Amino acid sequence: MNLVVLTGAGISAESGISTFRAADGLWENHRIEDVASPEGFMRDPALVHHFYNLRRAQLHEVVPNKAHQALAALERAWRGRGAFLLVTQNVDDLHERAGSRALRHMHGELRRLLCTACGETGPWHDDAGVDTPCPDCGAEAMRPDIVWFGEIPHHMDEIMEALGQADLFCAIGTSGVVYPAAGFAAQARRNGRNCVLYEINPTPTGGRYFDHVIAAPASEGVPELLCRLGVGADS
C-alpha cells in the first residue's frame, strides 16, 4: 500500500502561520507577484529579502501542531506497509521539526538560500540581504531558496514517480489552485492502481477526484485519517 501525502499552507495555519491566498491574493499584506516571482525580486530584491527574513524569523516563534505530529506518526507506522512520501508546498520547517523524514519541499525552504551566481544552495537561519556574500563563491548574489511563480518546483521526477505508484493519496490544507501540485490528485487517480483519494480541509475544495473528504481543521482531520487507516497517533 503506497501512500503519498500532499500538504499546503493550511496544515501550518493552526501553528500561527498565515495561509497564502486565503482572502484576497495577499500573503502577509504583500501582493504575491511582488514577493513570490522572479520579476518581483528583480524589481526590488531588498524588499523581497526583507519579506522572507520576517517569515524566517517567525519560525523561531511557532511549533508543529497535532497535524504535523500525526503525519510523522503515520510515516513511522507505515514502515513495512509500503512506500511513504510526504510532499509539502510549505516553505516552513514544521514537518521536519515534528519528525517527518520522507519529506520533499517542492517549493523550497525558508531556511535555505540559493546563490544566483554559482547555483549552490545551503542552510541559512539568519537574516539575508542584497549584500550577503555566498559562502561558496563569495558573490553578493543570494536569494531565498523558494520556488516562485513561473519557476519549476523541486523533486518533480520523484514526486511523479511516487504518484504513479500510489494506492492512497491525501491532500491536506491546500487550496488546489497552485499548479503543478493542484494536478497531483488527478495524476494519482489516473495511475491505474485504483488509488483512493482523501482530502482534509475545513473548506473542502470540491475537487471531483476525492473519494473521501474530511471537512475539518488539520489538527482534527489528520488524527481522523490515521484512525480510518488503522494507525494509532502515538505510533
Just list the catalytic residues: 107
Query: How many CA atoms within 13 Å lie on the side-chain side of 219?
Result: 8
Q: Is 115 in the site for Zn ion (CB under 5 A)?
A: yes
Residues 6+ apart with CB under 8 A from 39: 33
Q: Are 128 and 48 in contact (CB under 8 A)?
A: no
Q: How far is the CB of 133 from ligand NAD (least distance, A)?
A: 27
When binding is defined by CB under 6 A, the residue of 5, 6, 10, 84 that contacts ligand NAD is 10
Output 47 or 216, the one with its CB closest to ligand NAD: 216
Q: How far is the CB of 38 from ligand NAD (least distance, A)?
A: 15
Q: Is 136 in the site for Zn ion (CB under 5 A)?
A: yes
When binding is defined by CB under 6 A, the residue of 4, 72, 166, 218 that contacts ligand NAD is 218
**201 interface partner picked from Zn ion, ligand NAD, none, CB below 5 to 8 A per type:** ligand NAD
Q: Is 134 in the site for Zn ion (CB under 5 A)?
A: yes
Under rule CB under 6 A, which residues in 186-215 are in contact with ligand NAD? 201-203
- Beta strand 168-172 with 26-27 is unpaired
How many residues does this entry show for the chain? Answer: 235
Query: How many CA atoms within 13 Å lie on the side-chain side of 216?
Result: 12
Q: How far is the CB of 139 from Zn ion (least distance, A)?
A: 5
Q: Is 20 in the site for ligand NAD (CB under 6 A)?
A: yes
Residues 6+ apart with CB under 8 A from 59: 92, 93, 110, 111
- Beta strand 142-146 with 108-115 is antiparallel
Give dist(CA 72, CA 235) in Å, integer. 9
Q: Is 12 in the site for ligand NAD (CB under 6 A)?
A: yes
Q: Are 105 and 147 in contact (CB under 8 A)?
A: no
**218 interface partner picked from Zn ion, ligand NAD, none, CB below 5 to 8 A per type:** ligand NAD
Q: Is 133 in the site for Zn ion (CB under 5 A)?
A: no
User: Under the rule (CB under 6 A), what is the footprint of ligand NAD?
Assistant: 8-14, 17, 19-22, 27, 89-92, 107, 173-175, 178, 201-203, 217-218
